[in-house]
Amino acid sequence: MANPKSDFLRIVTERGFVHQCTDADGIDAETAKGPMPAYIGFDATATSLHAGSLLPIMLLRWLQKTGNKPIVLMGGGTTRVGDPSGKDESRKLLTDEQIADNIAGIKRVFAKFLTFGDGPTDAVMVNNDDWLRGLNYIDFLRDIGRHFTINRMLSFDSVKLRLDREQPLTFLEFNYMILQAYDFMELNKRVGCKMQMGGSDQWGNIVNGIELTRRVSGNEVFGLTVPLLTTSGGAKMGKTASGAIWLDGDQLSPYDYWQFWRNTDDADVGRFLRLFTDMDIAEIAKLEALEGSEINEAKKILAHEATSLLHGAAAAEAAAETARKTFDAGQIANDLPTVEIPRGDLEAGIGILDILNRAGLAASNGEARRLIKNGGARLNDEKIASDSMTVTLSDLMDEGVIKLSSGKKRHILVRPA
RNA sequence: GGAGGGAUGCCCGAGUGGUUAAAGGGGACGGGCUGUAAACCCGUUGGCUUAGCCUACGUUGGUUCGAAUCCAACUCCCUCCA
């Protein structure tokens, strides 16, 4: 829409969060009027979220910052069934206890981005297990199932594409969209939730929830989706050499998180600044316009802002300083990711292949050997020439550490313990 | 229920008795260029105690000096017919 009256719609639109939405005027009016409760659903399949979830999290953040009420829906109930969307191996079913742990871990992440509480614009976290677990199949069919026609369900892309490609679609999966629609209806009933947001692949499910809510209660509710995020290189967002970009300091250090953002493609810098930081849009436009190597400054700012949001400004500063020492000054930064190795092992001497493995720079001796052969392995910044060398206490530098590197970017400090 | 097609390394995909740890592509990792970009070029890409050994072409057996390759049974997937 041309000129949104509400802060919410104006901001998320100009920042590039909106892929598509239902009735923009309606959303605009509702969010302009006062606290509108809106929700996004998240899986509870892991103990932490990763960067792929950041986009919807930021959307909730803006929702709250513009005076509305974010609802975080944990898919505890649907996780209990097992998410069928994967292709081959069926998901290992999680125990209730694991799911509870996962939800607790995930909530810690949300607490960094949202303010939780009981106030009108405070975020709340709910679990669809609360209403899904007790469902009675026959009642559900009579009350909810009658609002869905197979004809229509078959027309949704998520279903149609599968059928067109002649891929199997289980009944469970076919029902998934109904459960999700039910979630929306239930949230509308319980807490007056008026909008569901989610990834663009959720559009069909969201629309179903809107229709179900209208049919059952007559209430008008809305939907909004965020774009599917890929880097301009076409890669899926949130992966790196060492694995997923976890939003949890124990699984991915603030330094590595900072590095992830620092290594953003030139072409993505402006887009990412708008999506993943709170920075002023005009300021971003200036940074985005930087040419050539100057864009590196914009990347550092992106890394700083994004890391500050998740890990705090102090951690972001420390990460920046570590990176500066490591890359610009050629010094040993003391808080690079560290691996501890028993002093006794070092006294006895550890084979270089072994220590590369232990530092997590290689997944097997073969990989370590390859790394050395290709000239990518370094010990205290000296190229490792032989795969038969031994690392001992005498390799400790003045700082009391041994620095191991794979390539130019991955550095690990080994500390005797 | 009947007829036919298929299952190969992280993914896609070639290979129909030995020179096959298995073409090619993608991805990933390393090197070069550079700006800790992109694009491009080069290399590597099952494991190990590495001139050797082990594991691997859906599963289990069989034929053979030798099998991803031939045979049998089984599992799963797909197509057509009913």
- Is pLDDT of A92 > 60? no
Domain identity same for A299 and A201? no
Give the distance, in angstroms, between residue A375 CA and nucleotide B18 C1'.
37
Verify if strand B has an atom below 7 Å from the CB of A293: yes
Q: What is the pLDDT of residue A75?
A: 86
Q: How far is CA A58 from CA A120, A197, A213, A276, in A?
A: 19, 12, 26, 7
> Of the candidates A335, A363, A389, which is a domain's last residue?
A335
The token pair at A223 is: 């939907």
Nearest nucleic acid nucleotide to A232, CA to C1' distance: B38
Nearest nucleic acid nucleotide to A269, CA to C1' distance: B37
Top-confidence residue, A251 or A280: A280
Give the distance, in angstroms, between residue A306 CA and nucleotide B17 C1'.
60
Find and list the nucleotides of strand B having atoms within 7 Å of a protein beta carbon: 27-32, 34-39, 43-50, 77-79
pLDDT, average across residues A366-395:
90
Q: What is the pLDDT of residue A241?
A: 54
> Of the candidates A216, A231, A246, which is a domain's last residue?
A231
Rounded distance between C-alpha atoms, residue A54 and residue A260, angstroms: 13
Give the distance, in angstroms, between residue A88 CA and nucleotide B72 C1'.
29
Q: Is A239 marked within a binding site?
A: yes
Give the distance, in angstroms, between residue A371 CA and nucleotide B16 C1'.
37
> A265 and A254 in contact (C-beta within 8 Å)?
no
Strand B close residues, chain A 149-178, CB < 7 angstroms: 166-168
For β-strands A382-383 and A377-379, DSSP reports them as: antiparallel
CATH code (residue A92) = 3.40.50.620
Q: What is the pLDDT of residue A242?
A: 60
Domain identity same for A357 and A330? no
Verify if strand B has an atom below 7 Å from the CB of A376: yes
> A337 and A321 in contact (C-beta within 8 Å)?
no
- Quick check: is A243 in a domain? no
CATH code (residue A285) = 1.10.240.10
Q: Rounded to 5 degrees, what angle do the CA atoms A94, A96, A102 make?
A: 75
Nearest nucleic acid nucleotide to A322, CA to C1' distance: B36
- Is pLDDT of A83 > 60? no
Domain identity same for A272 and A399? no
Verify if strand B has an atom below 7 Å from the CB of A118: no
Domain identity same for A350 and A378? yes
**Residue A108: count of CB within 10 angstroms of its CB:** 13
Verify if strand B has an atom below 7 Å from the CB of A366: yes
Strand B close residues, chain A 175-214, CB < 7 angstroms: none
Q: Is A92 marked within a binding site?
A: no
Give the distance, in angstroms, between residue A358 CA and nucleotide B20 C1'.
34
User: At how many degrees (to 10) do helices A295-311 and A313-323 cross?
Assistant: 140
Nearest nucleic acid nucleotide to A323, CA to C1' distance: B36
- Quick check: is A345 in a domain? yes
- Which residues span the domain enclosing A397? 338-416
Verify if strand B has an atom below 7 Å from the CB of A85: no
- Quick check: is A245 in a domain? no
Give the distance, in angstroms, between residue A89 CA and nucleotide B76 C1'.
12
> What value of ipTM does the predicted structure carry?
0.85
Q: Is A39 marked within a binding site?
A: yes
Domain identity same for A316 and A348? no
Domain identity same for A144 and A206? yes
Domain identity same for A393 and A344? yes
Domain identity same for A82 and A218? yes
Verify if strand B has an atom below 7 Å from the CB of A367: yes
- pLDDT digits over A338-350, tens only? 999 999 999 988 9
- Quick check: is A242 in a domain? no
Give the distance, in angstroms, between residue A366 CA and nucleotide B47 C1'.
8
- pLDDT digits over A183-221, tens only? 999 999 999 999 999 988 888 889 999 999 999 999 999
Domain identity same for A258 and A120? no
- Quick check: is A346 in a domain? yes
Verify if strand B has an atom below 7 Å from the CB of A235: yes
Q: Residue at minimal CA–C1' distance from B49? A: A365
Domain identity same for A346 and A399? yes
Domain identity same for A307 and A227? no
- Quick check: is A70 in a domain? yes
> Of the candidates A335, A356, A386, which is a domain's last residue?
A335
Give the distance, in angstroms, between residue A173 CA and nucleotide B6 C1'.
26
- Quick check: is A246 in a domain? no
Domain identity same for A215 and A288? no
CATH code (residue A376) = 3.10.290.10
- pLDDT digits over A158-186, tens only? 676 666 655 566 677 778 888 889 999 99
Query: φ and ψ at A351, to 5 degrees?
Result: -60, 145
Tally of domains in chain A: 3
Give the distance, in angstroms, between residue A366 CA and nucleotide B46 C1'.
9
- Quick check: is A241 in a domain? no
Give the distance, in angstroms, between residue A354 CA and nucleotide B18 C1'.
38
Its pTM stands at 0.89
Q: Is A403 marked within a binding site?
A: no
Confidence of residue A97 (pLDDT cuts 50, 70, 90): confident
- Is pLDDT of A228 > 90? no
**Residue A89: count of CB within 10 angstroms of its CB:** 6
